[in-house]
């Protein structure tokens, strides 16, 4: 089991919050039943240097001024949402008879060859594929570090697609730069460690042990390589 995650959940439905509070072995939970208070709660935590690992933010909640017929409105909303769920199931079944979700399979093939998303970013480009995807397919997209870009029927909304692509490409370009800088720093560090250990080994061999022969110098260099590799592995843990 991993470490306990410190999360904040802002949700007006107690049963949804209980999904997390009932699992103290996995989550330490701060409940916020009114999302309007969330920012203030976060400011308090950051002031105490207790920032959460994750914020879970519900989208839909009752209006601040609850109308007298709120219960009736909620009943209609839940009924309509159930109708939507049923319709999605029917639509998914019909769509699956006409097409196969090849994109998910190709994504898996791509990630087998290029598992690092900074090397090859991938976005699934679909009109309604996100809504028809199964929970398992959505999880696959997340675990394989892919993204979604929604197609638009009208060209007037294509600016959204362009902006989304620009943001994704920019993020991964920045990640590649950072990764390259870290790699260069690692090379410099390893070389510095190797040179230091080599000089120290030769110094000890010549001045303390009295070893001046070529084989003994080579042995010192080999020992330096082994120690440098060991330190490099240790630093990367």
**C-alpha to C-alpha distance for 9 and 17, rounded to whole angstroms:** 7
Backbone angles phi, psi at 146, to 5 degrees: -110, 175
Q: Nearest to residue 175, comparing CAs of 123, 121, 125, 124?
A: 121
Task: Provide the token pair at 66.
Answer: 């609850």
pLDDT digits 0-9 by tens, 43-99: 998 999 988 899 998 888 877 778 888 889 989 999 999 999 999 999 999 999 999
Task: Provide the token pair at 31.
Answer: 């409940």
Q: Where are the domains of the chain?
A: 1-60, 70-99, 100-151, 174-236
Angle between helices 214-236 and 158-203 (to 10 degrees): 140
**C-alpha to C-alpha distance for 9 and 4, rounded to whole angstroms:** 15
DSSP secondary structure string for all residues of 75-133:
HHHHHHHHHHHHHHHHHHHHHHHH---HHHHHHHHHHHH---TTTS--EEEESSHHHH-
Comparing 226 with 163, which gets the higher pLDDT? 163
Predicted local distance difference test score (pLDDT) of residue 197: 65
What is each CA distance from 50 to 38, 63, 86, in whole angstroms? 15, 30, 42
Q: Is the pLDDT assigned to residue 114 strictly greater than 70?
A: yes
Q: Is the pLDDT assigned to residue 142 strictly greater than 90?
A: yes
3-state helix, strand, coil in the chain (%, to 5): 65, 10, 25
Predicted local distance difference test score (pLDDT) of residue 14: 86
Contact (Cβ atoms closer than 8 angstroms) between residue 7 and residue 20: yes
Strands 123-126 and 147-150: parallel
Backbone angles phi, psi at 6, to 5 degrees: -95, 105
User: Would residue 145 be called left, alpha or beta, if left means φ above 0 and alpha means ψ between -120 and 50 degrees?
Assistant: left
Q: What is the mean pLDDT of the chain?
A: 81
Backbone angles phi, psi at 118, to 5 degrees: -70, -25
Comparing 92 with 221, which gets the higher pLDDT? 92
Which residues in 195-230 are b (16+ Cβ under 10 Å) and which e? eebbeebbeebeeeeebeeeeebeebeeebeebbee
- Its pTM stands at 0.64
């Amino acid at each position: 089991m991993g470490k306990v995650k410190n999360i904040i959940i802002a949700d007006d439905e107690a049963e949804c919050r209980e999904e997390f509070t009932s699992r103290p072995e996995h989550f330490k939970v701060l409940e916020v039943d009114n999302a309007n208070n969330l920012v203030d709660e976060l400011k308090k935590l950051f002031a105490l240097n207790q920032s959460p690992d994750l914020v879970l933010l519900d989208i839909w909640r009752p209006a601040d001024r609850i109308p007298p017929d709120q219960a009736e409105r909620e009943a209609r909303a839940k009924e309509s949402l159930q109708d939507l769920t049923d319709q999605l199931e029917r639509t998914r079944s019909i769509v699956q008879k006409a097409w196969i979700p090849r994109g998910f399979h190709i994504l898996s093939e791509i990630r087998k060859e290029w598992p690092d998303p900074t090397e090859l970013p991938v976005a699934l480009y679909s009109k309604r594929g996100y809504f028809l995807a199964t929970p398992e397919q959505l999880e696959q997209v997340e675990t394989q570090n892919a993204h979604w870009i929604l197609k638009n029927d009208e060209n007037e909304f294509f600016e959204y697609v362009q902006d989304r692509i620009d943001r994704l490409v920019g993020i991964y370009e920045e990640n590649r730069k950072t990764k390259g800088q870290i790699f260069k720093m690692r090379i410099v560090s390893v070389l510095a460690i190797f040179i230091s250990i080599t000089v120290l080994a030769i110094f000890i061999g010549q001045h303390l042990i009295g070893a001046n022969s070529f084989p003994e110098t080579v042995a010192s260099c080999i020992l330096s390589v082994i120690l440098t590799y060991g330190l490099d592995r240790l630093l990367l843990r």
